[in-house]
Amino acid sequence: APSIFAWWLRQGVPADYLAEAEANGEDLHQLLTRKTADQPVGAHGLVALDWMNGNRSTLVDHHLSGVIVGLTLATRPEEIYRALLEATAFGTRVIVEALEQGGVPVTEFVVTGGLKKNALLMQIYADVLRRPVSVAESEQGPALGSAIHAAVAAGAYPDVRTAAAAMGRVQPGAYRPDPADADAYDRLFAEYRALHDHFGRGADKLLHRLRDIRNAALTTPSEAP
């Protein structure tokens, strides 16, 4: 997810946004979040497939590519940013539903790392998933995880669960679903799922054909077989 958001910041933010962020002492994530935070769910009219680096979860197809549907001449950079935030949450919901269909219940999410800094994103996850989102207090989640495993290996704790309880701290239910927004996201998720299945599972291999056309165009005569 972070690489997708960074891609949009590199490609889709005009100069006046950069100047505004600098004048306000904000980074671009903060600026775009502020500009779209109060927008009603679905008001941007967009649905995105966040497959700019392929889909490496349920579809396991790195040849897929990204899609943004609903663009108009009135679409703002912050609206595309929000659609990409939502797409990562929709993709997570697809994974959750696959787990539950396989008999693995999912009741809570614990977020660590840089994504937890974006309160809008965390609330989107809670609303889309209809589950509480807890936040790890450590600013260095991966390093803490390594330390927990090292402590178990060294014999300081009998198992990972005990070590995590002693060494980790979590703010439980920091974000909880808003019923009205969750209902609105259900409607958007239905559209996401239709796009997901059409481009990812359907017989129309458009995204693969486009990649083939691109690869052919980039192949020089000397490289051709």
Residue 131 has a CB neighbour count (10 Å cut-off) of 20
Q: Which fold has domain 2-104+186-207?
A: Nucleotidyltransferase; domain 5 (3.30.420)
C-alpha 86/C-alpha 93 separation (Å) is 10
Residue 186's Cα: distance from chain center in Å? 16
Predicted structure pTM score: 0.88
80-110: pLDDT as tens digits: 999 999 999 999 999 999 999 999 999 888 8
The answer to whether the beta carbons of residues 43 and 36 sit under 8 Å apart is no
96: tokens are 């959750």
The secondary structure of 147-180 as a DSSP string is HHHHHHHTTSSSSHHHHHHHH--EEEEEE---HH
Task: Map out the domains of the chain as residue ranges.
Answer: 2-104+186-207
162-217: pLDDT as tens digits: 988 888 778 888 999 999 999 999 999 999 999 999 999 998 899 999 999 999 99
